[in-house]
Amino acid sequence: MPHPWITRMTKTPGSLREAAGLVERREVSPVELTRACLDRIAAGNADLHAFITVMEERALAVAARAERSIAAGTYRGPLHGIPVSVKDLVDVAGTPTTAGSRVPPRMPAHDAPVVANLLRAGAVIIGKTNLHEFALGTTSDETAFGAVRNPHDRTRSAGGSSSGAAVALLEGMCYGSVGTDTGGSIRIPAAACGITGLKPTLGEIASDGVVPLSSTLDHVGPMARTVEDTALMFHAMLDGEPRLDRLSAEAVGPLWLGVPAPYFFDKLDDEVVRLFGEARAALERAGHTIGDLAIAHAERTADVYLHIVLPEAAWYHGPLLEQHADKYSPGVRLRLEMGRYILSEDYLRAMHARAALRRAVDHALEGLDALLLPALPIGAPVLGEASVSIGSAREPVRATMLRLTQLFNVTGHPAIAIPCGLGRDGLPRAIQLVGHRGGTERLLAVAATVERQIIAGAGSVGGGTG
């Protein structure tokens, strides 16, 4: 007969993998882990606004079932009994999907497939996280549930739109999160908060059961504290079968990386330049080869993106705008209204350009393991600020935050943001790796190697659990 749980938890595990190991060895129970996360939420959420819905009763019931199942000898894998969160843009049966809005929520009867996969892997859904309203923004100060505050500096944004997820991870409120990314909404908050966020290849993880922003550009992906944890979440979300050996199965030797300098390096704050340079130097010292290159048409990205995302968002929101215009945040409403004026001719023009951009990124990646660039041009901006200083210039916050990520939504290439250290302002900075389309597994393996080199080269990075 399997032995019962042998110890009580004395220290909060720092990573999903560590927590999973403790659960598998029955040194920490899923109920203890879940209670610890609920305690963190209770202590911090009133100020940080990371969660919209906390599913305490349901989470504890699922954790108790996991505990009994594992004690009986049925261990389903590294997500079994692990508390995770879901962005409140994604359907979880029986809980409202608010999308961060005062617009009446969806009341789903069924789980989104990505949630069903997590549950099949044994995960404990602990709650639904806050976001920039309807995922149409990068600062998360336009939400009906309170601006999401950055734990590194509570006067600053946690990024967006998957900001609540990033804060929840940073603060030890969960061990993995489901995010969505239409222009950078996983990678931007990951960079702003100092955690890891993966946008897989377009369409790899089903977006059914997710409130759409742009049917062409929406991606669903995982967020976690490390690349390894992100890989575990990715596989759980993909098919419900996370295993440690799925990451290590991808052998990685000396890497060939390309840095796309033109356009992407035109507007970066000094600390991004410094910390990216240190990360690059650490990788080169470790024997990896890094060259500079250019991506054709990259400077057209924002124009192409705008003419796809806005009309597609306006199509979904049209009926809601007719009925509930006054319930949207004013800025979100105006951006959606803008999409109603884009001509079909220009939408199709942007879709045509999208194909050329995809070929350009494919071409840039030829012979390389990945592209290497910063994930966010600035540290987390002050909440409510519409512009930010870069050098002597003032730049618009939203366009600046999207600048390094949105191309890879347009093209569908997988991309991951990894912390590369804290700036002198105490705010995290992050690098981004971009892989081949269909090569998310390989990208994760490359990212794990890069993460190790950055940590070795610059000391500990990223956020702890507090």
Partner 1 sequence: MDIAAWLARATADADVRGLPDLKPLLDTLARATQALRDADAEFRHPAGEHADAAPLDHPHDQDAG
Q: How many residues interact with partner 1 (rule CB under 8 A)?
A: 23
In the list 42, 72, 343, 386, the residue contacting partner 1 (rule: CB under 8 A) is 343
Q: Which stretch binds partner 1 (CB under 8 A): 86-94, 141-149, 301-309, 409-417?
A: 301-309
140, 185, 207, 329: the active-site residue = 185
How far apart CA 203 and CA 72 sit, in angstroms, is 37
161 a catalytic residue: yes
In the list 290, 302, 382, 390, the residue contacting partner 1 (rule: CB under 8 A) is 302
In the list 11, 248, 285, 341, the residue contacting partner 1 (rule: CB under 8 A) is 341
User: Using omega within 30 degrees of 0 as the cis cutoff, is the peptide bond preceding 29 cis?
Assistant: no
85, 87, 128, 199: the active-site residue = 87
CB nearer to partner 1: pick between 67 and 142: 142
CB nearer to partner 1: pick between 98 and 301: 301
Regarding 38 and contact with partner 1 (CB under 8 A), the answer is no
Regarding 315 and contact with partner 1 (CB under 8 A), the answer is no
Q: Least distance in Å: CB of 338 to partner 1? A: 5
CB nearer to partner 1: pick between 7 and 341: 341
Q: Which stretch binds partner 1 (CB under 8 A): 27-35, 156-164, 351-359, 449-457?
A: 351-359
Regarding 334 and contact with partner 1 (CB under 8 A), the answer is yes
Of 362-391, binders to partner 1 (CB under 8 A) are none
Q: Which stretch binds partner 1 (CB under 8 A): 22-30, 152-160, 213-221, 296-304?
A: 296-304
185 a catalytic residue: yes
Binding letters toward partner 1, positions 412-451, x by CB under 8 A? ----------------------------------------
CB nearer to partner 1: pick between 82 and 397: 397
Q: Which stretch binds partner 1 (CB under 8 A): 85-93, 189-197, 261-269, 329-337?
A: 329-337
Q: Least distance in Å: CB of 297 to partner 1? A: 7
In the list 249, 356, 386, 456, the residue contacting partner 1 (rule: CB under 8 A) is 356
In the list 267, 288, 317, 335, the residue contacting partner 1 (rule: CB under 8 A) is 335
Q: Both ends of the chain: CA-CA distance in Å? A: 38
In the list 337, 385, 387, 458, the residue contacting partner 1 (rule: CB under 8 A) is 337
> What is the 3-state secondary structure of the chain?
CCCCCCCCCCCCCCCHHHHHHHHHCCCCCHHHHHHHHHHHHHHHHHHHCCEEEECHHHHHHHHHHHHHHHHCCCCCCCCCCCEEEEECCECCCCCCECCCCCCCCECCCCCCHHHHHHHHCCCEEEEEECCCHHHCCCCCCCCCCCCCEECCEEEEECCCCCHHHHHHHHCCCCCEEEEEECCCCCHHHHHHHCCEEEECCCCCCCCCCECCCCCCCCEEEEEECCHHHHHHHHHHHHHCCCCCHHHHCCCCCCCEEEEECCCCCCCCCHHHHHHHHHHHHHHHHCCCEEEEECCCCHHHHHHHHHHHHHHHHHHHHHHHHHHHHHHCCHHHHHHHHHHCCCCHHHHHHHHHHHHHHHHHHHHHHCCCCEEEEECCCCCCCECCCCEEEECCEEEEHHHHHHCCCHHHHHHCCCEEEEEEEECCCCCEEEEEEECCCCCHHHHHHHHHHHHHHHHHHHCCCCCCCC
In the list 118, 147, 342, 415, the residue contacting partner 1 (rule: CB under 8 A) is 342
CB nearer to partner 1: pick between 40 and 335: 335
29, 85, 157, 161: the active-site residue = 161
Structure tokens at 273: 């330049």
How many residues in total does the chain contain? 466
Regarding 147 and contact with partner 1 (CB under 8 A), the answer is no
Regarding 349 and contact with partner 1 (CB under 8 A), the answer is yes
Which residue reads 């512009």 in tokens? 387
Regarding 346 and contact with partner 1 (CB under 8 A), the answer is yes
How far apart CA 101 and CA 135 sit, in angstroms, is 10
What are the catalytic residues? Answer: 87, 161, 185
Summarize as ranges the residues that interact with partner 1 (CB under 8 A). Answer: 297, 300, 302-304, 306-307, 310, 330, 334-335, 337-338, 341-343, 345-346, 349-350, 352-353, 356
